[in-house]
Amino acid sequence: MSRKVRRGILKEAGKLEKFPASNPPLPGTEDYGYEVRYTKAWSYKIIFRVFNPENVVRVMTIRHDAELDEDVRKDLD
């Protein structure tokens, strides 16, 4: 991964501190019992969970957009 892409991912992840719930839920995770959300940077999805009421964000994984959704969801189980 290039430094430019890495910096972009870190910058986008840093934005999650302010308004994490403004990002959409990750499709296919509706039955998890907790919300899984994502944001994008370059060709990568930053997949995270928000712990309320503190709005603490935990990045669960960072995956390339080309990866199949079911493979990404398997890693979240």
Domain span at residue 58 reads: 3-76
- Helix/strand/coil percentages in the chain, nearest 5: 30, 30, 40
What integer is the mean pLDDT of 32-41?
92
Does the pLDDT of residue 74 top 90, yes or no? no
pTM of the model: 0.87
* pLDDT band of 1, cuts 50, 70, 90: low
Domain count across the chain: 1
Scanning the chain, the segments in alpha helix (DSSP H) are: 3-15, 69-76
Query: What mean pLDDT, rounded, does the chain reach?
Result: 90
Q: What is the CATH number of the domain that holds 26?
A: 3.30.2310
Q: What percent of the chain has pLDDT over 90?
A: 57
| Residue 71 pLDDT | 86
pLDDT in the model for residue 77: 74
